[in-house]
Every structure is written in structure tokens, then in C-alpha cells.
Amino acid sequence: MASHVVANTWTLTKIRVLLAMRNRTFLFFSLFMPLGFLFFFVMVFSKGDSPWTAFILGSILTMTVMGSFWGLSVQLVTFRETGILRRFRLAPVGAGPMLASSILANYILVVPSAAIEILVTKWVLHMQSWGNLWAMFLLITVGSAAFSAFGLIVASVTNTMQETQVINQIIWTAFLFLSGATVPLARFPHWIQGASLFIPATYLATGLQFAATNLATLGEIATDFAALALGLVVAFEISRQLFRWEPEAKVPGRAKLWVLAALIPFVAFGIYENVAGHRLNRVRQDFQMLDSRDAPAPPSDVH
């Protein structure tokens, strides 16, 4: 039985990877667009080989990983609306392998994109060091899976593609602008910084930025990793419970409350970090350190 589940998951994973590789839109959004942003941000905000290049790499990696959220929710709703899921339902394939394969396939596709971004930043954009590659790898792995699972929850609680796009847009905007992925978190007022600790994307963004700039050790990203891993487990189980094969099987309003359950780990981590944690202090200090490396030298005394 278990071997069947594993075999079906792997069979579905392979075909999903194949289908994604044939999808030009996917290639554009997952590979070419992040690379375009990388070049643009480095040219505009980074001066030569300053540490900012590495910081920007962290942000771009965050966007690449978070893209899983948008892609998977849209894909699952499309599959349901067009009746593709119904066909799979006839076969001896359960909801678990269907969902797990989409997460796994997405991970297999995200890793090469992230690797290309790191290599381009190092070799073409002259990043000074490699950053903490192990920390980056771990965060990309757990982040990709967690954000995929968040996308699957959205797909499970929305009834139409239109609804999915609206909810995705709202969540995506919050993830992008309040997590530090675009505007460095330390630049925000303190109350926004406090609020950002309740957002899953913050753990990914700050973790990847400081892994890329080599300011974090493997141990220092443990909280980021734990928050995302816990979020993944909860989100996967909720999406499995709410999974629907049929387009006409509408989700009842109260089931949407389950989405709030997916946020519980981040509420807990947010409260902890706001009350007893040192994350924000670390973020501010690290940011100051980056900023000071970049600042012009103070004028010498004139005698």
C-alpha cells in the first residue's frame, strides 16, 4: 500500500515536471522573470561588487521560491475546473499522491532556477562570496514545499479561478511587500516590522537574505527553517482534508476557516518573536552592517 503511494507520487511527479517544461508561461515566470529582476535590481541598487548584490540575490531567491504558491494554486484549480482531476479520480490514486507530487515536482523545478540565479549572481554579477550555500539550500527546500502547500490550500478553498486569482493577489502582495523580500524589513516602521513576523514569507525572506550575505550561520536560520517546516506540515494536511476532485463540489463557507489553522504556527512564532525573540534586532543590526559597508568614508579632519 505504502509502496503504491510512493510509486504513484513519483509517477505523477515525473509527468508534472515534463508538463511544466513544455509550458512557456511557467518557464517565463519561474526562470526568465526572476533573472530579469535580478539584473535590474543589481544595476539600480547595488554598486559594483558591494554586499548589496548578495542581499538582492536573497530577495530574488525568495520571490522564486514564493512563486510556488501562485503557480500551484492556479494549476490545481485549472485541473479541477477542466475535469482533469475527475479522470485521475477514476484511477487508484488518492489525494495524498496528487498533492505531494505537485509539491515535489515544483521543488524539482525550483532548485535549478535558484541554482542558476546563484551562479549568475556569482559569475556574471560578481558577488563577492558564495554566501552560506547549505543554509540557502535548506531554506529553498522547506520554503518551496511550504509555499506550495499554501497554494494548495488556496486552491482547496476557492470555487472558481476568478476567486483564486483575487485571493492569490491579496496574499501575494502581502508576502511580497511586508516580508522584506522587496523593501528591506529594517526600512519599515517598527510596528510593521512587528506585524511582519506573523507572515510566513518573512521567515523565508530574512533567512535567505542573510544566508546569501553570509551573515547567518546554519544554526541561526534554525527558527526560519522550523517555522516553515511546521507551516508545511499543517498546510499539507489541511489541503489534503479540503481537497476536491469535482468542479461542482463547492466548499462550504465554514471550511474556509481551516485556512486560519494554517496560520497558527506563524501566529505562535510571531508572538514568540515579538515578545522574546531577537529576530528584529538581528535584522536591524545586519542591515546596519550592510549599510555601513556601503556608506562613504567619513571626512578626515582638516588641520
Partner 1 sequence: MPEPIIAVEGLFKSYNSNGVTVEAVRGLSFAVQEGEVFGLLGPNGAGKTTTVEILEGMRTPDRGTARVCGLDPEKAGAEFKQKIGAVLQSTSLPDKLRVKEALDLFANFYTSRADTESLLKRFQLEEKRNAFYSHLSGGQKQRLALAMALVNNPQVVFLDEPTAGLDPQVRREIYDIIAELRKDKKTVLITTHYIEEAERLCDRVAIVDYGRIIKTGSPRELKHSSAGTTRIEVRLARPLTNGVLSTLEGVADCRDFDGTYVLHSTLPPRTIVALVKHLEAENNELQSLEMFSPSLEDVFIELTGRRLRD
**Contacting residues for 96 by C-beta, under 8 A, at least 6 apart:** 5, 9, 240
**Contacting residues for 298 by C-beta, under 8 A, at least 6 apart:** none
Is 92 among the residues that bind partner 1 (CB under 8 A)?
A: yes
Is 90 among the residues that bind partner 1 (CB under 8 A)?
A: yes
Q: Pick from 28, 82, 126, 160: which binds partner 1 (CB under 8 A)?
A: 82
Instruction: Write out the binding residues for partner 1, residues 6-25 only, by CB under 8 A.
Output: 7-8, 11, 15, 18-19, 22-23
What single-letter amino acid sits at 134?
W
CB 144 within 8 A of CB 208: no
- The DSSP code sequence of 118-158 is HHIIIIIS--SS---HHHHHHHHHHHHHHHHHHHHHHHHH-
Is 246 among the residues that bind partner 1 (CB under 8 A)?
A: yes
Is 4 among the residues that bind partner 1 (CB under 8 A)?
A: yes
CB-nearer residue toward partner 1: 26 or 137 = 26
Q: Pick from 54, 61, 63, 93: which binds partner 1 (CB under 8 A)?
A: 93
CB 5 within 8 A of CB 96: yes
Tell me the closest approach of the beta carbon of residue 264 to partner 1, in angstroms.
31
Which is nearest to 46 in space by CA: 212, 215, 290? 290
Tell me the closest approach of the beta carbon of residue 68 to partner 1, in angstroms.
19
Is 79 among the residues that bind partner 1 (CB under 8 A)?
A: yes
Is 278 among the residues that bind partner 1 (CB under 8 A)?
A: no
Instruction: Write out the binding residues for partner 1, residues 156-195 only, by CB under 8 A.
Output: none
First to last CA, the chain: 84
Q: Which residues bind partner 1 (CB under 8 A)?
A: 4, 7-8, 11, 15, 18-19, 22-23, 79, 82-84, 86-87, 89-94, 245-246
